[in-house]
Structure 1
């Protein structure tokens, strides 16, 4: 059984500066683009965590040099090759972004991962790659484990996909698209498309390294993205702090009526975590963006919220935890796709908050949360880093909350317990 961590309880306002490591989403995309570039790249202050270490290891297995230089990574592209083996762990970015890269390799590339990764949908990428000319053995599962039989190149062209379960299906094809012989045209045909900010992030990063990308926002057809074939430039890129990982620390200010400063918060960003400024302000806080970073202050009161989180689903666990401590009910909508994340996050949040005395019900596309007095108990994480940080938020206000397997936070936020206790001055 995993160790249990008793979360610190805090009855007085926090007052802390919390410097966060780099963005997982930006680091993962930067690694892929650097591996496909025509020259070396330097990633300044990248995230070093399980997900990004797995991405770097997967690219090394395919023939790319990813070398440490102090806190930076220097990426030197090499001939993509197999046979190779890639461990995706439980990282959606690895299991979705690297198969298109593997299709460009010369030789077979086998992908495997944690047991839960077998349940994460991959059919959008697998089916699309087959249409674009790749040969993939997955025994019809549309999931790991699978083998991509790289032929050294990929025709590319037009493809229709249903990315309703993950915007990463679109990003995966766009990132490698410049290296396909015909580029790629991705047409989303599903009913919904969650996490659009992550697709905008992919497009912005492609353009920054020289790719030509046509999007719905730039006058193209709705739900259609086109990437022209061409060389990608090696470049230096400074990785922004991970704004989604700022969530538990900002929540601490909200829950305790204190102040937390996050240095280097960007004035403009494609990271979905930037929505926290708006959402947590509506829930009772206030914020100021300065040259130094973001200063967030809680008012001592937490208000319920009715909010569509379809574009920022990864924020749902932390918002649910704060909502369970509010003075009025909350409804979180637009996040049915969270049932297919590291765990079924909607079911997990419902079960764990309710076992602490809460009153949470699942809806078709989210959660309805009625605040109730909570009590201590074990908060299970299901090997999901955002479940662990949600439990820590609850523990600030509720004595005796114990988190099972807090080490799962190493997926995207190394040393979370130390950062958390440091914020509290413990």
Structure 2
């Protein structure tokens, strides 16, 4: 499959500089010995952007403690600001930026344009909010954003009687002609391409006059934990949510409570650092690990041992210990067979680990990641093959037969997960150059700084 290559736009989130790309790309550092690192990470993008939407629709001001400050969260803030929401930065106690006070608008107003960048949460979560605003709101984004599936949200809003003009494309750009109200009611959509279609409609549903009784009609539903995260966030704000059967959700109409929320560290962003220790040897610890969570990154506790690593979680600290090196000089990393429909965002980093394993690996159930920031299946196959890897691509998966890799250019496709996967490969393979490490600012502007700390 052919995939286009381009760079993400420059970004400087609220004055915190994004990673700079060196002329010709970022030379991924090679690990020269076992690691022994302890790192703290900024807040979860998935939780931050859900809480931003709910706070904007709430019945009073809310404070988000330790939110993520990144390109995706800035785009969400600016989109909500365009609809009338007010924001105030408050000095935070953590080391990754300020807290954020969110003041809902007395009346949401459209007659604006929202830049979605490449953020799936923005392009999918905000159109239902815009339907509750008065006036037209046009949505557009980066080049590849126009290729990302939007049918679930577009069809869902049409099904609720919202006037939405997309010229029949089923993708960005489109305009929502908000009237200040949405009737709500019974609705069916196909969310096979993205669980965000479901979350988008659930997040605003309490503000619909009849709420929503939403049913998924497709054959598969990827990334179910992200829907569970949405339901938990709604319930914490007093919204009545029920799931009477698999693939069906009911949200009752009513107020969304204004509350103060502590945002958990982003556990998916922990993946490259934990995997880095597995590749380089030694150990790495992530602090602030929640005892219970709806984040997909929590699955790393089960996934990394499949590769031969040892994991400890104690006192809010997640530590991974690399497997013992093989007598034949191998890294001791085992090949795996993984079916990961619920953990697609972890796949690029896990595939990079599999490319450095001592045996073959297969990944299945991941066809939906073809519609993420880029076609991640095709991109991973292309980049690993270009460095000497043996990769077989299928419609919904990959097979990796480890082969000696060599240095060369690693294209990120403006995709933060692809960029961090290149960094992982570079730990073990000299001469890997990531063309666009700056795109990690999408969810982790501090990536290169933290990567340096990982390597000591």
TM-score with structure 2 setting the length: 0.91
Equivalent residue runs for 1:341-420 within 5 Å: 341-420=372-451
Q: Distance in 2 between matches of 1:222 and 1:344?
A: 28
Q: Tell me by how many angstroms 1:423 deviates.
A: 1.4
2:246 alignment partner in structure 1: 222
Provide the alpha-carbon RMSD of the alignment. Answer: 0.9
- SS for the counterpart of 2:305 is helix
Q: Distance in 2 between matches of 1:93 and 1:186?
A: 19
Equivalent residue runs for 1:281-320 within 5 Å: 281-300=305-324, 301-320=332-351
Equivalent residue runs for 1:85-96 within 5 Å: 85-96=113-124
Matched, 1:110 2:138: yes
Structure 1 segments, 4+ long, off by >4 Å, are none
Q: Tell me by how many angstroms 1:257 deviates.
A: 1.6
CA contact (8 A) 2:31 2:280 kept: yes
Per-residue CA deviations over 1:248-306 (Å, capped at 9, x if unaligned) read: 00001111121111011011100001111111111011111111411111124211110
- SS for the counterpart of 1:244 is coil
Equivalent residue runs for 1:112-131 within 5 Å: 112-131=140-159
1:323 alignment partner in structure 2: 354
Per-residue CA deviations over 1:186-242 (Å, capped at 9, x if unaligned) read: 100001000000000000000000000011xxxx12211010000010001000000
Q: Distance in 2 between matches of 1:94 and 1:422?
A: 31
Per-residue CA deviations over 1:27-84 (Å, capped at 9, x if unaligned) read: 0000000000001100000000000100000000000012211210100001210211
Q: Distance in 1 between matches of 2:349 and 2:245?
A: 35
Q: Distance in 2 between matches of 1:80 and 1:40?
A: 15
Q: Distance in 2 between matches of 1:422 and 1:307?
A: 30
- SS for the counterpart of 2:414 is coil
Q: Which 10-residue stretch deviates more, 1-10 or 89-98? A: 1-10
Q: Tell me by how many angstroms 1:155 deviates.
A: 0.3
2:100 alignment partner in structure 1: 73
1:11 alignment partner in structure 2: 32
Count of residues in correspondence between the two structures: 421
- Equivalent residue for 1:138, pick from 163, 166, 171: 166
1:33 alignment partner in structure 2: 54
- SS for the counterpart of 2:433 is strand
User: Any unmatched runs of 5+ in structure 2?
Assistant: 1-5, 8-22, 92-97, 325-331
- Equivalent residue for 1:23, pick from 35, 41, 44: 44
Q: Tell me by how many angstroms 1:415 deviates.
A: 2.1
- Equivalent residue for 1:181, pick from 161, 186, 209: 209
2:264 alignment partner in structure 1: 240
Per-residue CA deviations over 1:368-407 (Å, capped at 9, x if unaligned) read: 0000111100000111000000000000011111101110
Q: Distance in 2 between matches of 1:292 and 1:308?
A: 28
2:20 alignment partner in structure 1: none
1:48 alignment partner in structure 2: 69
Q: Tell me by how many angstroms 1:419 deviates.
A: 1.0
CA contact (8 A) 1:252 1:258 kept: no
User: Any unmatched runs of 5+ in structure 1?
Assistant: none
1:280 alignment partner in structure 2: 304
